[in-house]
């Protein structure tokens, strides 16, 4: 069956069915990622793998009567993207419940979305804005206040998470969460209170984000049927941006096996549209070793198949060894004796052939962890076959990088500085920010480096925002962090986002490049990543995403060629109304739209100033008169 749009290749009726391609893509500008053959214009797929690459003439002999032939219309085609650190399983379980502000250009628009959603949300449910945005992306350059959330949604609980720094709740959410004058501050967190001692609606990570996540966990959850629908729509949303694989980094409130059941069921039914390699994360302080022993006895890394497989432990192994990366707060001092239990955890994993990943933001933490690894390596417990890596590594030093390389480690970097770069620079200075993280230093040492987002609760899941950060060094607010000699090329950044992620899972021989025998995972883009103006990279999307030869996303000329999904449920879901990432018109393509957004923001800012003035406020304050700690000038 030939699929439009197509031209130029005639099927061969004499070609045996067992040799004919299932799918052919022609008239493309293919970046293969393979140094031996970096470019092609056509490819053929059979049984989920690439069987041929070349030009139309080379591929013509693979076209039979039943071959689906697609014309790429000269578009750029690249290997499918692979986010090396994405909380995809947890994100899928909650996606349809969340109002996403990812990509929203003004606070005025964000609050309008919130106001509209309040009219759709039934009693007993919450409105959740959970990550993927920053005050810097708004033209107003500030966060909403608790009073503004209450004005937009007087009766519906609203929880707005801002990075790892804070959460803002309206009055209804304060009541629903059970916060009162007598509620004690949890360890590492602060409930901001007014002069009368009552909670203002602002929660601060000081520095631990557990206060934010435990409050979010109090909101109603989906039933299993809706979790399945939610996960399928979230995976489709990731396919929209050309993602074909992700490494799930687990995380808090993600219990195994219970919270993995949805993706396991979808994999068994052949309904995953994204390849997922997942990790296991001990959830309860004090029983980490017991959890690790239980998993070692019941499952093994590699269990599963090419669509869903266990990759190892982490990103935390023991809670005491985890630092928190709230750059609005000072670096946390970890307990002086965490190494003893941490060493037991790493030894247990290495003795049993388990790899792991470790959340480590600061070099101070990395140095202490490396001392443990070097001790175990002296006992022969860091064999080459056990893959392990540091996640984040924002302030890692050259000496620590050399030690990581000597132990055969890998690093996975995320674009958290896209969203937190200004906070980091304000605290540590521009010179320190210029080395955070030192990606070019990692690459210069020959370290394997993979790229990702750490979405969904901090950065956006849009991989092109991360690629923009890698090649320009700019935050979502336009702050330039790095000098030109610390930026990577577009080709290198893409390699980190394709084959780099595959190295973490040991699949770089079949994933992350386009050549014969590799997975048929690729995406055709709205714009040519290699030539589009740098400021437009975050606005790139896919028009065609293929995973294992299956069309999992189609837009523009390919709309309707992807697999049908059930409607979003529940029907009041924010996703049902607004979708996910809010695409905006790139400023380089139209100055008129950008000018309109800025004028709208200016009008909102003046309206906000008058609102405060009418209430006698002379400084940024919350509704009860207390200083609003979330205000950004």
Helix H or strand E encompassing 31: strand 29-31
- Measure Cα distances from 235 to 69, 274, 411, 561 in Å: 25, 6, 25, 16
Say yes or no: 385 and 508 in one domain.
yes
pLDDT (tens digit, 9 = 90+) per residue, 583-604? 876 645 544 444 444 455 555 4
* SS3 of residue 633 by DSSP: coil
Same structural domain, 243 and 343? yes
- The size of the chain, in residues, is 633
**Residue 240 belongs to some domain of the structure:** yes
One domain for residues 603 and 477: no
Q: How many alpha carbons fall within 13 Å on the CB side of residue 28?
A: 32
Residue pair 584/538 in contact (Cβ under 8 Å)? The answer is no
d(C-alpha 530, C-alpha 549), whole Å? 25
Which residue range(s) make up the domain with 336? 226-512
Q: Where are the beta strands (DSSP E) in 139-216?
A: 158-162, 166-169, 189-193, 199-205
DSSP summary character for residue 336: T
pLDDT band at 627; cut points 50, 70, 90: very low
Residue 193 shares a structural domain with residue 289: no
Helix/strand number for the chain, H first, E second: 20, 23
pLDDT in tens, 220-251: 999 999 999 999 999 999 999 999 999 999 98
Q: Is residue 536, in this structure, part of any structural domain at all?
A: no
Same domain, 166 and 246: no
In a domain, residue 284? The reply is yes
Tens of pLDDT, residues 111-157 = 999 999 999 999 999 999 999 999 999 999 999 999 999 999 999 99
| 363: CATH | 3.20.20.140
Does any domain span residue 279? yes
Residue 7 is assigned to a structural domain of this protein: no
**Domain shared by 238 and 209, yes or no:** no
Q: Using an 8 Å Cβ cutoff, are 300 and 306 in contact? A: no
Q: Is the Cβ–Cβ distance between 546 and 23 less than 8 Å?
A: yes
pLDDT tens track for 272-331: 999 999 999 999 999 999 999 999 999 999 999 999 999 999 999 999 998 988 898 899
Is residue 31 one of the residues assigned to a domain?
Answer: no
Q: What does the mean pLDDT of the chain come to? A: 91
344 and 469: one domain? Answer: yes
Task: Check whether 180 has a pLDDT greater than 60.
Answer: yes
Backbone angles phi, psi at 390, to 5 degrees: -95, 135
Contact 247, 86 (CB under 8 A): yes
Q: Please give the backbone phi and psi of residue 92, each rounded to the nearest 5 degrees, phi first.
A: -65, -35
Same domain, 382 and 455: yes
Within 13 Å, how many C-alpha atoms sit on residue 204's CB side?
Answer: 16
Distance, in Å, from the CA atom of 113 to the CA atom of 624, rounded to the nearest integer, reads: 25
Instruction: Tell me what the mean pLDDT of segment 99-112 comes to.
Output: 97
214 and 232 in a common domain: no
Same domain, 233 and 320: yes
Q: 413 CB contacts (<8 Å, ≥6 apart)? A: 392, 393, 437, 439, 442, 449, 450, 451, 452, 496
- Which of 487, 512, 537 delimits the end of a domain? 512
Query: Are the CB atoms for 598 and 171 separated by under 8 Å?
Result: no
* Kind and range of the H or E run holding 545: strand 542-547
Q: Which residue among 512, 538, 559 closes a domain?
A: 512
In this predicted model, what pLDDT tens digit does every residue of 489-509 receive, in sequence order?
Answer: 999 999 999 999 999 999 999
Give the number of other CB atoms < 10 A from CB of residue 56. Answer: 16
Q: Please check whether residues 442 and 296 belong to one and the same domain.
A: yes
**Domain count across the chain:** 2
Domain's final residue, options 480, 512, 544:
512
**What is this structure's pTM?**
0.91
Q: Is the pLDDT of residue 183 over 90?
A: yes
9 within some domain: no
Q: Which DSSP string corresponds to 98-160?
A: B---TT---HHHHHHHHHHHHTTSPTT--EEEESS--GGGSTT-SPPPHHHHHHH-SSS-EEE
Quote the CA–CA distance of 582 and 107 in Å, as a whole number: 13
Closest residue by Cα to residue 92 from 455, 450, 412: 455
Cis upstream peptide for 258 (omega within 30°): no
Dist. CA 92–CA 18, nearest whole Å: 37
407 and 273 co-located in one domain:
yes
Pairing of strands 189-193, 199-205: antiparallel
Q: How many CA atoms lie within 13 A of 382 on its CB side?
A: 21
Neighbours of 528 (CB within 10 A): 14
CATH of the domain at 157: 3.10.310.70
**Residue 633, pLDDT score:** 24
- Residue 193: count other Cβ atoms within 10 Å of its Cβ: 17
Residue 368: inside a domain, yes or no? yes
């Amino acid at each position: 069956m030939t699929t439009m749009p197509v031209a130029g290749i005639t099927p061969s009726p004499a070609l045996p069915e067992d040799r004919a391609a299932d799918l052919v893509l022609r008239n493309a500008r293919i970046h293969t990622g393979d140094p031996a053959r970096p470019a092609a214009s056509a490819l053929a797929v059979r049984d989920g793998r690439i069987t041929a690459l070349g030009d139309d003439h080379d591929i013509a002999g693979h076209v039979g009567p039943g071959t689906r032939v697609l014309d790429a219309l000269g578009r750029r085609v690249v290997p499918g993207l692979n986010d090396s650190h994405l909380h995809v399983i947890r994100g899928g379980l909650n996606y349809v419940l969340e109002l996403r502000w990812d990509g929203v250009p003004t606070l005025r628009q964000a609050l309008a979305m919130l106001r509209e959603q309040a009219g759709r949300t039934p009693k007993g449910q919450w409105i959740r804005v959970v990550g993927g945005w920053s005050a810097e992306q708004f033209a107003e350059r500030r966060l909403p206040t608790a009073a503004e959330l209450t004005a937009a949604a007087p009766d519906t609980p609203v929880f707005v998470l801002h990075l790892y720094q804070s959460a803002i709740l309206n009055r209804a959410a304060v009541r629903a969460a059970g916060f009162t004058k007598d509620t004690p501050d949890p360890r590492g967190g602060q409930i901001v209170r007014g002069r009368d001692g009552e909670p203002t609606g602002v929660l601060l990570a000081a520095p631990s984000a557990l206060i934010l996540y435990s409050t979010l966990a109090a909101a109603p959850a989906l039933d299993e049927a809706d979790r399945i629908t939610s996960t399928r729509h979230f995976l489709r949303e990731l396919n929209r941006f050309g993602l074909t694989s992700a490494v799930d980094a687990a995380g808090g409130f993600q219990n195994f096996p219970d919270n993995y059941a949805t993706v396991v069921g979808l994999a068994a039914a052949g309904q995953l549209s994204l390849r997922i390699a997942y990790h296991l994360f001990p959830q309860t302080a004090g029983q980490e070793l017991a959890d690790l022993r239980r998993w070692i006895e019941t499952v093994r890394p590699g269990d599963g198949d090419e669509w869903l497989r266990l990759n190892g432990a982490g990103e935390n192994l023991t809670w005491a060894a985890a630092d928190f990366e709230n750059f609005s707060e000072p670096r946390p001092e970890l307990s002086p004796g965490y190494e003893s239990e941490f060493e037991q955890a790493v030894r247990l994993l290495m003795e049993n052939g388990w790899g792991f990943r470790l959340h480590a933001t600061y070099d101070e933490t990395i140095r202490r962890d490396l001392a443990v690894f070097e001790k175990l390596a002296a006992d022969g417990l860091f064999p080459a076959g056990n893959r392990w890596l540091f996640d984040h590594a924002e302030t890692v030093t050259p000496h620590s990088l050399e030690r990581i390389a000597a132990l055969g480690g890998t690093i996975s970097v995320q674009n958290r500085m896209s969203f937190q770069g200004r906070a980091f620079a304000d605290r540590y200075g521009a010179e320190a920010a210029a080395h955070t993280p030192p990606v070019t230093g990692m690459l210069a040492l020959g370290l394997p480096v993979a790229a990702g987002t750490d979405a969904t609760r901090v950065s956006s899941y849009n991989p092109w925002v991360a690629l923009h950060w890698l090649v320009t060094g700019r935050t979502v607010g336009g702050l330039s962090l790095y000098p030109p000699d610390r930026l990577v090329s577009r080709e290198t950044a893409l390699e980190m986002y394709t084959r780099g992620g595959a190295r973490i899972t040991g699949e770089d021989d079949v994933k992350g490049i386009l050549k014969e025998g590799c997975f048929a995972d690729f995406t055709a883009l709205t714009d040519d990543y290699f030539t589009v103006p740098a400021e437009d990279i975050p606005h790139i999307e896919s028009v065609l995403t293929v995973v294992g030869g299956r069309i999992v996303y189609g837009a523009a000329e390919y709309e309707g060629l992807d697999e049908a999904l059930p409607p979003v449920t529940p029907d009041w879901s924010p996703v049902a109304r607004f979708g996910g990432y809010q695409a905006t018109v790139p400023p380089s393509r139209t100055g008129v739209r950008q000018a309109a957004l800025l004028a709208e923001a200016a009008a909102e800012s003046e309206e906000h100033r008058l609102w405060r003035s009418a209430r006698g406020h002379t400084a940024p304050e919350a509704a009860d008169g207390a200083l609003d700690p979330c205000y950004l000038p």
